[in-house]
């Protein structure tokens, strides 16, 4: 199950992700990425503090939306990533295109 919430601050549009992104929930993630791109903000943050799984489908969606975000000069940040998801994204070279911020080990309780 994937739950998504949004916050719209002055210069930052935040997408709060909770749960798992799999093939079954990817359409919700895609809608959120699209909404972020249409937000007219120059910075979109994916708050991944409660995200436990990011499947290959979810990674594919991130890759698919990167050109749109880059063309519109929108910065995309993944915040509070769990170390496992971060390791996969770094292994795939996504850290060259995305700002990846790992959650601190003190918040892993």
CATH code of the domain made up of 2-107: 3.30.750.24
The predicted model scores a pTM of 0.91
Q: Are 16 and 7 in contact, with CB atoms under 8 Å apart?
A: yes
Quote the pLDDT of residue 104.
81
- The one-digit pLDDT tens for each residue of the chain (109 residues) are 999 999 999 999 999 999 999 999 999 999 999 999 999 999 999 999 999 999 999 999 999 999 999 999 999 999 999 999 999 999 999 999 999 999 886 544 4
Tokens encoding 39: 């937000």
What ranges do the domains of the chain cover? 2-107
Closest CA to 29 of 9, 8, 10, 48: 48
At 105 the three-state DSSP class reads helix
Mode of pairing for the β-strands spanning 43-54 and 12-21: parallel
* First-to-last C-alpha distance (Å) of the chain: 21
């Amino acid at each position: 199950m994937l739950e998504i919430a949004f916050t719209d601050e002055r210069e930052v549009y935040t997408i709060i992700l909770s749960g798992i992104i799999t093939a079954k929930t990817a359409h919700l993630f895609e809608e959120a990425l699209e909404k972020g791109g249409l937000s007219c903000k120059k910075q979109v943050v994916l708050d991944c503090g409660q995200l436990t799984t990011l499947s290959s489908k979810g990674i594919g969606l991130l890759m698919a939306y990167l050109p749109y975000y880059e063309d519109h000069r929108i910065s995309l940040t993944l915040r509070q990533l769990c170390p496992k998801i971060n390791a996969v994204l770094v292994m795939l070279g996504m850290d060259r295109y995305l700002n990846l911020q790992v959650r601190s080990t003190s918040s892993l309780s």
